Structure 1
Amino acid sequence: MSTENPIFGDVKAVLFDLDGTLIDSAPDLAAAVDKMRIDRGLPSMPLDHYRPMAGAGARGMIGLAFAIGPDHLDFPALREEFFINYANCMTQSTYAFEGVVELISSLQVQGLPWGVVTNKSSRFSEPLTAAMPLFNSAKTIICGDTTPYAKPHPEPLLEAARRMRIDPAQCMYVGDDERDIVAGLAAGMSTVAATYGYLGKSNDPSLWGAHAVINSPMGLLQLLK
């Protein structure tokens, strides 16, 4: 899409999804669920097996590890076991995607405040972001349980805009999942789909209705020129 889209001409703040957009948490998510397999005497699976579903959290990880869904009787217990494992390892191998630190620095130089809107619950989002210096400059961090709703509902994004005291129409939202774009559009924000995260083979970001698509974090700066 054109980098001269006028929709980005009045952006006063940039909001990001967390996993798959700013940080690569797939190694720790995979380790948490793979430990469950190993503890049961099942063979370990490689990170590449888990990565495409890392953005789907417990549902995605447990589905890949044990081929069961949320409607299975064993799912709640497996989910809590996964949560415990993840809490114990979530800062071990998680890192910011290449270019994210430079992107955030550039936003600060331009005087553009930024924040995070994630469906990850505060149980994990708060300690994880507190452990990473990257988030020291974030103006707000909205978790999956900050409001009564989660994406694709627009309320988490609207709450972020309220906390930053910026009109939603002057906010840009960047995410790597269709629900991010749906939420951003419903909130009246300009939207950007990030393709460098956890896209599965069946996902086509060009069909999500985003105002632009970027293939790297630094690609966002071209939209803000």
Structure 2
Amino acid sequence: MVRAVLFDLDGTLIDSAPDLGAAADKMRLERGLPSLPCERYRPMAGAGARGMLGVAFGMTPEHPDFNAFREEFFTNYENCLTQRTQAFEGITDMLASLQLRGLRWGIVTNKAARFTDALVRNMKLLGDAVVVISGDTTQYAKPHPEPIFEATRRLKLEPFQCVYVGDDKRDIDAGRAAGMCSLAATWGYMGSHDVTTWGADAPLKAPDCLLDWLDGRL
């Protein structure tokens, strides 16, 4: 019954942690603070600016300077967003296999369109997505199901004809709320989270496990 596969972006299709971390680390260096290794930033990469500023400065959205710091971070990230970012191992082959099977695939991310669109333009792999929904495409962001509904509308498919793959509980919540099978990508930025508590239809240890799931072998 599956006609299309929808994916989260950061932590699922691409490893953007090095560029996200570099954007925040530049802010530290410019303030005379020592650099932090990428591995300090990686577990929070899925949380975007909030996560990166939390690691770099211990700053929360309630901090009076958060908005100014966030805009500075966004500018830094915009200037480097494809310097170190690459697809996770196995993603290119998995997407090629989906296309050989006649399955379309798309992206539903909470990343703002100003960044998503630039990544899609500059990363050849992402240019094959038949639909791209960003965090500000609709009125809501995940875990609300509306971004996923918007993707299915553009694909002219019913939700049950699609499957959603993501590396965060909000991805699973959004997919389930939209009425589609939702799979947990455990190769992403899950950190120490226990995926068994998310309610996913299945965990995927590696990208090619999606093909096993589609074939009923998982």
2:207 counterpart (208, 213, 217): 217
Give me the TM-score of the superposition, normalised by structure 1.
Answer: 0.95
How far apart in 2 are the matches of 1:104 and 1:196? 16
Q: How far did residue 70 of structure 1 move? A: 0.2
Find out whether 1:192 has 2:206 as its counterpart: no
How far apart in 2 are the matches of 1:54 and 1:136? 22
Q: 2:79 aligns to what SS in structure 1?
A: helix
How do residues 67-86 of structure 1 correspond to structure 2 at under 5 angstroms? 67-86=58-77
Which residue identity is paired with 1:179?
A: R
Q: How far did residue 11 of structure 1 move? A: 1.1
Q: How far did residue 80 of structure 1 move? A: 0.4
Aligned length in residues? 215
How far apart in 2 are the matches of 1:78 and 1:61? 11
1:173 counterpart (138, 160, 164): 164
**Could you tell me which residue of structure 1 aligns to residue 197 of structure 2?**
207
Answer yes or no: is the 8 Å Cα contact 2:92–2:125 preserved in 1. Answer: yes
How far apart in 2 are the matches of 1:188 and 1:156? 13
**Could you tell me which residue of structure 2 aligns to residue 123 of structure 1?**
114
The one-character-per-residue Cα deviations of 1:50-104 (angstroms, maximum 9, x if unpaired) are: 0000000000000010001000001001000000000000010000000000001
Give me the TM-score of the superposition, normalised by structure 2.
Answer: 0.98
Q: How far did residue 200 of structure 1 move? A: 2.0
**Could you tell me which residue of structure 1 aligns to residue 94 of structure 2?**
103
Q: 2:34 aligns to what SS in structure 1?
A: coil
**Could you tell me which residue of structure 1 aligns to residue 24 of structure 2?**
33
How far apart in 1 are the matches of 2:88 and 2:204? 14
Q: Which has the higher contact order (CA 8 A, sep 6+)?
A: 1
How do residues 51-90 of structure 1 correspond to structure 2 at under 5 angstroms? 51-90=42-81
How far apart in 2 are the matches of 1:52 and 1:136? 27
How far apart in 2 are the matches of 1:55 and 1:137? 23
How far apart in 2 are the matches of 1:105 and 1:183? 26
Which residue identity is paired with 2:69?
A: L
Gaps of 5+ in 1: 1-9
Q: How far did residue 37 of structure 1 move? A: 0.2
How far apart in 2 are the matches of 1:87 and 1:132? 14
Q: 2:106 aligns to what SS in structure 1?
A: strand
Q: 1:89 aligns to what SS in structure 2?
A: coil
How far apart in 1 are the matches of 2:104 and 2:138? 21
Gaps of 5+ in 2: none
**Could you tell me which residue of structure 1 aligns to residue 2 of structure 2?**
11
Find out whether 1:159 has 2:150 as its counterpart: yes
Runs of 4+ deviating beyond 2 Å: none
The one-character-per-residue Cα deviations of 1:17-37 (angstroms, maximum 9, x if unpaired) are: 000000000000000000000
Q: 2:163 aligns to what SS in structure 1?
A: strand
Question: Cα RMSD over matched residues?
Answer: 0.6
